[in-house]
Amino acid sequence: MAKNIFTSISDFSKNCVDLDPTRLGTARSSRNWLVEKIENFENRDEYFPEIYSKENNVQMGSFARRTKIRPLDDIDFIIVFSANGSTYNTNSNNEITISVPETATNLRRLTNDNYTLNSVKLLNKLKSSLQNVPQYSAADIKRNQEATTLKLTSYDWNFDIVPAFLTAPDSFQRTYYLIPDGYGKWKKTDPRVDAKRATEINQKRNGKVLRIIRLIKYWQKRPVVPGIGSYLLENLVLNYFDTNEVSPTDQLALSDVFYNLSNSIYSSCYDPKGIQGDLNTLPFETKQKFSEAAAKAYLCVQNAIDFVAKDNHKAAHDEWKKVFGSDFPEYG
């Protein structure tokens, strides 16, 4: 319980929203241990494709961008394989195929009849190799569209392991990661762009942005708020803080963001990587419901600000509970 709304928001963020620092250390250590095991597969299995050790264990997802909230349920990372002379081609439908030369014998074992690399076969090879590790023999290992998912009984989180190839620089000197598209072919991504952008905007605003993003993500997980996708939500908030300062208090900063979200949800939100185009392809009805939820949260925050100005912190706590739910600290 707390009597000061500013302390309550800070405590709520620390104890209910942000990842536990002790769990973070364990999670990073367990991920690095797993990467070392995967890098050793080619020494244990003569048919396992070569790992590109110069750039491996590439972090991706909200865990890497420090925008993930509790519970820590999944950790995504990329395992980069050596292309061994393979080349890629993009057709008119933006489908990417990777052609494997005869000299790349282990990759050739995972190709289609026309010697294009089948991403599903590579995912299955990674899955079967993980099952041969004694520590993982009792683990639940599955393949989804982009990754092999490893769930260990010893941890609360899954590992989503994404196989990839790093492209050669294009005419603009950009490189990409080619990852499975879920249908046997490949698609481009570049988590380095997302991580760099989140870090730069956070630093530009004195390290205050990522915490606000996590609070907004917590709000969006409530049943009263339509789910619009964590990545889209994160980019909407980053777009706002790219051009706007963070207000001096949490109440004012969150008020600003809720007001902005109630309007920006109707606008285009382009992929900062320049790959996916407009991220905001939500149906109008979903946009409308999300806008209404954000507007309602904004009004609650405005009420809380007014109550604090009158030194009525109990009423302010009641308003914040309407925003974040019953886990928000009690007044007392």
- The string of pLDDT tens digits covering residues 67-97 is 999 999 999 999 999 999 999 999 988 899 9
Looking at residue 156, what is its pLDDT? Answer: 85
Q: Which has the minimum average pLDDT: 37-46, 138-147, 248-257, 262-271?
A: 138-147
pLDDT at 2 over 70: no
User: Cα–Cα distance between 180 and 184 in angstroms, integer?
Assistant: 7
pLDDT band at 56 (very low <50, low <70, confident <90, very high): confident
pLDDT at 183: 94
Burial class (CB in 10 A: 0-12, 13-18, 19+), 296: middle
Cα–Cα dist 58/181, whole Å: 18
pLDDT at 193 over 70: yes
What number of residues does the chain have?
Answer: 332
Give the per-residue pLDDT at 287: 98
Q: What is the mean pLDDT of residues 197-220?
A: 98
Confidence at residue 138, expressed as pLDDT on a 0 to 100 scale = 62
Question: Average pLDDT of 4-15?
Answer: 95
More confident site: 253 or 142: 253
- In this structure, the dihedral spanned by the alpha carbons of residues 172, 174, 177 and 181, taken in order and rounded to 10 degrees, is -30
Distance (Å, rounded) from C-alpha 157 to C-alpha 31? Answer: 11
Which DSSP symbol is given to 183?
S
Interval 129-155 mean pLDDT: 83
Please say if the pLDDT value at position 232 is more than 70.
yes
Average pLDDT in the 25-52 region? 94
Q: What is the pLDDT of residue 137?
A: 61
Question: In 3D, which of 225, 219, 223, 264 has the Cα closest to residue 241?
Answer: 264
**Residue 189 pairs with which residues in a beta bridge?**
177
Q: Which of the four pLDDT bands, split at 50, 70 and 90, describes residue 44?
A: very high
Average pLDDT, integer, range 144-170: 91
Q: What is the mean pLDDT of residues 36-48?
A: 95
Residue with tokens 């390290």: 207
Does residue 155 surpass a pLDDT of 90?
Answer: no
Residue 144 pLDDT level (bands cut at 50, 70, 90): confident
Task: Write down the domain spans for the chain.
Answer: 20-189, 194-324
**20-189 maps to CATH 3.30.460.90:** yes
Predicted local distance difference test score (pLDDT) of residue 117: 98
Residue-level pLDDT at 148: 94
Section 99-120 average pLDDT:
98
